[in-house]
């Protein structure tokens, strides 16, 4: 007899393959959002803290190579960005709130990556999954361009979501598995310093 997979196992499988929708407890389909904000380790914690977020998964989107490894993406040539995919219950947290958290965790003015991580794979982007997400993302970008904390062009791109490939297991929940190394990396990278400079007490979402 085949073993019955756990709900978490099904969730990971269905999110990664974009199969039939996973359902929240009241039978409402869970939704997905995909954000590129530089190092994917650093984009998991602010979303994990939100009520209504079911799971965050580090991975890759936007490229042309199927099932890439981390080493392939870092070497370049796959076209992928490091992303975090957020699985959430829209009854408990809306996409607008996810966008607010996204902006407060990136430097939208940086064109060559994010913080100390330089290169195409670390550039910031919002991958929209449907027309409503696209509308809200573009509205939020326009608002930031008009009323942002600094002058200058916003470099964050808004792209249609096409595929998502989870990163290797050791990348998932890295900040929980390796808290000391994670905190040192954030400090060395200047991430929190720059976020505070941009967003003040709103930094981090």
Query: How buried is 38 (Cβ within 10 angstroms: 0-12 exposed, 13-18 middle, 19+ buried)?
Result: buried
Which two tokens mark 97?
A: 């709130």
Nearest residue to 165 (alpha-carbon basis) of 73, 95, 87 = 73
Which two tokens mark 34?
A: 């995909």
Q: Of 39, 42, 116, 189, which residue is the catalytic one? A: 39
Query: How buried is 68 (Cβ within 10 angstroms: 0-12 exposed, 13-18 middle, 19+ buried)?
Result: buried
> In the Cβ-directed half-sphere of 80, how many Cα atoms lie within 13 Å?
29
- Confirm whether 42 is a catalytic residue: no
Query: How buried is 31 (Cβ within 10 angstroms: 0-12 exposed, 13-18 middle, 19+ buried)?
Result: buried
3-state secondary structure of 108: coil
Nearest residue to 136 (alpha-carbon basis) of 151, 158, 107, 152 = 158
Query: Could you list the active site residues?
Result: 39
């Amino acid at each position: 007899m085949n073993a019955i997979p756990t709900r978490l196992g099904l969730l990971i499988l269905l999110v990664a393959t974009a199969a039939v929708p996973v359902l929240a407890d009241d039978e409402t389909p869970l939704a997905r959002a995909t954000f590129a904000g530089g190092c994917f380790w650093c984009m998991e914690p602010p979303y994990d803290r939100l009520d209504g977020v079911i799971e965050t998964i580090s991975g890759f989107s936007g490229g042309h190579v199927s099932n890439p490894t981390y080493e392939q993406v870092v070497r370049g040539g796959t076209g992928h960005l490091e992303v975090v995919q957020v699985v959430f219950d829209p009854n408990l947290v809306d996409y607008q709130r996810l966008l607010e958290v996204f902006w407060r965790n990136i430097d939208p003015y940086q064109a060559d990556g994010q913080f100390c991580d330089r290169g195409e794979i670390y550039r910031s982007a919002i991958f929209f999954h449907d027309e409503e997400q696209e509308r809200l993302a573009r509205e939020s970008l326009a608002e930031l361009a008009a009323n942002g904390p600094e002058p200058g062009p916003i470099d964050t791109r808004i792209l249609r979501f096409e595929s998502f490939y989870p990163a290797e297991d050791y990348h998932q929940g890295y900040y929980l598995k390796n808290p000391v190394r994670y905190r040192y990396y954030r400090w060395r990278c200047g991430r929190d310093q720059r976020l505070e400079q941009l967003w003040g007490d709103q930094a981090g979402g």
